[in-house]
């Protein structure tokens, strides 16, 4: 076998692998849009100062719910759940969590929990939002919007 045939064969395999991976990633993104994320438990609350700004850190257990009849699986090394961003109903960033989870499996109509996700919130923003929530009598946890940042082959995608 000549070197030319080996190079051509390897190139064809690489291109086919890329297209297969691209289709798989598109399927994962489409499925991830149906996954719901809910906070379950708060742990290790702490307040700190960084560059003259106060912030609060805590660990949060997150429940990922798959409400569909399809098994959700994101077990590719090219796919990573990077960050979760928390917004209020006015789209003000409340805080963020660095997750870096590479393998997520959720059975149909089931859920899984990611424990101890470190969350950091700007204390000024948090206090402003708490005071605003106290003025509005019908505030509930559904007023908090969660946005997920997924890294796929090094490219970040936002999923609301």
Closest-CA residue to 100 (of 85, 86, 79): 79
pLDDT in tens, 34-73: 878 777 887 887 877 767 777 788 888 888 888 888 887 7
In this prediction, residue 133 carries a pLDDT of: 55
| Residues of the chain above pLDDT 70, percent | 82
Are the CB atoms for 92 and 129 separated by under 8 Å? yes
On whether the CB atoms of residues 159 and 147 are closer than 8 A, the answer is yes
Q: Where are the domains of the chain?
A: 3-159
pLDDT at residue 77 in the model: 61
53-66 and 110-122 beta bridge pairing: antiparallel
User: Per this entry, what is the length of the chain?
Assistant: 160
The pLDDT mean for the chain works out to 77
Contacts of 129 (CB under 8 A, 6+ apart): 88, 92, 94
- What's the confidence (pLDDT) of residue 78? 65
Residue 106 has pLDDT above 70, yes or no: yes
CB 106 within 8 A of CB 112: yes
Closest among 119, 123, 117 to 55, alpha carbons compared:
123
**Model confidence pTM above 0.75:** no
**How far apart, in Å, do the first and last CA atoms of the chain sit?**
51
* pLDDT computed for residue 63 by the predictor: 85
Going by pLDDT thresholds of 50, 70 and 90, the confidence category of residue 137 is low
φ, ψ for residue 81, nearest 5 deg: -80, 105
The H-assigned helical ranges of 33-120 are none
Max CA-CA distance within the chain? 77
């Amino acid at each position: 076998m000549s070197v030319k045939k080996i190079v051509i064969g390897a190139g064809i395999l690489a291109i086919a692998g890329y297209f297969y991976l691209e289709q798989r990633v598109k399927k994962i993104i489409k499925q991830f849009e149906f996954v719901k994320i809910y906070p379950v438990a708060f742990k290790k609350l702490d307040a700190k100062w960084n560059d003259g700004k106060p912030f609060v850190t805590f660990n949060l257990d997150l429940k990922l719910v798959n409400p569909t009849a399809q098994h959700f699986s994101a077990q590719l090394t090219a796919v990573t759940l990077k960050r979760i961003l928390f917004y209020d109903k006015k789209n003000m960033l409340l805080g963020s969590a660095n997750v870096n989870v590479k393998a997520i499996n959720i059975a149909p109509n089931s859920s899984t929990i990611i424990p101890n996700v470190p969350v950091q919130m700007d204390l000024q923003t948090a206090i402003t939002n708490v005071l605003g929530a106290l003025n509005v009598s019908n505030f509930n946890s559904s007023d908090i919007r969660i946005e997920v940042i997924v890294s796929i082959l090094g490219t970040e995608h936002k999923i609301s």
